[in-house]
Amino acid sequence: MKKIGITIGSERVPIEKKYYLKHKKAFDEVMSELSDVIEDLEDLTYDIQIYALLKKCAPKNIEIVPLWKTEYTKKDLDELDLIFCLYEFTYALRDDGEEGFKKYLRVMKSTKTEVSPSSEFQRFVLSKQTYMNYFKKNGIPIMDTLFYNLPRYSKDKKDAKVLLDKINKKFTGPIYCKPELGGFAEGSKLFKKLTLSGLKSYLNQLIKGGYKKLLIQPYIDEFLKFYEIKTIWLNGKFQYAYGQKVKAETEDVMQSKLDQKLLKELKKKGKEVMELLSKDFGTPFLLRIDWGCCIQNDSVCREYFLNEIECCPAMVGTDGEDHDCFERLAKGLIKKLK
């Protein structure tokens, strides 16, 4: 009997009713199994949905083991044949602070079992400064970004003035700030006009939240005006894309409604990203590449930049319902073990 472990516990993105009905039997069985953490459909989040479909698709000689948050040991992981991570370092930081964050990374690095995505690749993705510099060096369009180590401010509050001067020298106009490991826009802030007192207040807030690094970028109206294009890749191959407007009360736009010339260009760029990563880390089993607009102007094509990559992406209803990527993912993971 082979065993696949899957980390769950995101407590985000509950199931859509239509998708629940499509796989009702599989979801009901898991709701019963995990009744201590699932009370109703609101608790049937994207990671638990994928767990349920893994159980549904697995042959009799493969056992699917749920790994809740960070409530497992190295010994538990060593008894498995493959570990698939959906609950990852961002959630561990959210739930248990720096201690949980460090525990998660430590145990994933120390296990002898294969981890997907690998511990090395997860550590690469968690450092936006590392991967943004990596892609910039390799010719992938990246937003101009200033990075700041927050411990500098913890040690010397006067460093806020030094940072303010750097920002004013590098950027003109509004700026957008976001902390590294700040998932779901938590800790992010738009400054239309930055003052020293406002910056200090924000830095104090980030330090209280346990963040270590801050990313500062020019604020671009087009980023909110145009769709951020999220592209999903499995085993190095493009699966589909959808558009999502940041901070807008609008529904996602599916692939067929996107500008096809733009999509063709982003798929080409996405292949370049995948080739780079495959060369240095091996082909990622699951990857989401997010593209934002625009670096210089309102042009729909050519000016999109790589905004983010996610190796354990939070999956919204779009990912499951319209393409059934969840079931496709489950079947692909089982093939990976075979």
Could you report the per-residue pLDDT of 60-114, keeping only the tens digit for each? 999 999 999 999 999 999 999 999 999 999 899 889 988 999 999 999 999 999 9
**Range with lowest mean pLDDT among 38-42, 166-170, 294-298:** 294-298
What backbone phi and psi angles, to 5 degrees, belong to 290? -105, 130
Residue 199 has pLDDT above 60, yes or no: yes
Q: H/E/C letters for each residue in the chain?
A: CEEEEEEECCCCCECCHHHHHHCHHHHHHHHHHCCCCCCCHHHCEHHHHHHHHHHHHCCCCEEEEEEECCCCCHHHHHCCCEEEECCCHHHHHHHHHHHHHHHHHHHHHHCCCCEECCHHHHHHHHCHHHHHHHHHHCCCCECCCEEEECHHHHHCCCHHHHHHHHHHHHCCCCEEEEECCCHHHCCCEEECCCCHHHHHHHHHHHHHCCCCEEEEEECCHHHHHCCEEEEEEECCEEEEEEEECCCCCCCCEEHHHCCHHHHHHHHHHHHHHHHHHHHHHCCCCEEEEEEECCCCCCCCCCCCEEEEEECCCCCCHHHHHCCCHHHHHHHHHHHHHC
Query: How many CA atoms within 13 Å lie on the side-chain side of 335?
Result: 9
pLDDT score recorded for residue 184: 55
**Omega prior to 85 cis, within 30 of 0:** no
Beta bridge partners of 191: 175
**Omega prior to 117 cis, within 30 of 0:** yes
- What is the pTM assigned to this prediction? 0.89
What backbone phi and psi angles, to 5 degrees, belong to 261? -65, -40
What letter represents residue 147's amino acid?
F
pLDDT score recorded for residue 248: 53
Q: Are 216 and 187 in contact (CB under 8 A)?
A: no
pLDDT tens digits for 56-74?
999 999 999 999 999 999 9
In the predicted model, what is the mean pLDDT of the chain?
Answer: 90
Q: Enumerate domains of the chain plus CATH numbers.
A: 2-117+328-337 (no CATH), 146-219 (3.30.1490.20), 223-311 (3.30.470.20)
pLDDT score recorded for residue 300: 45
CB atoms within 10 A of CB 121: 21
Q: What angle do CA 80, 84, 89 make, to 5 degrees?
A: 115
CB atoms within 10 A of CB 271: 14
End-to-end Cα spacing for the chain: 12
Q: Rounded CA gap, 293 and 224, in Å?
A: 8
Q: Are 127 and 180 in contact (CB under 8 A)?
A: yes
Residue 297 has pLDDT above 60, yes or no: no
Beta bridge partners of 5: 65, 83
Q: Which residues contact 59 (CB under 8 A, 6 or more apart)?
A: 334
Residue 197 has pLDDT above 80, yes or no: yes
Q: Rounded CA gap, 103 and 107, in Å?
A: 6
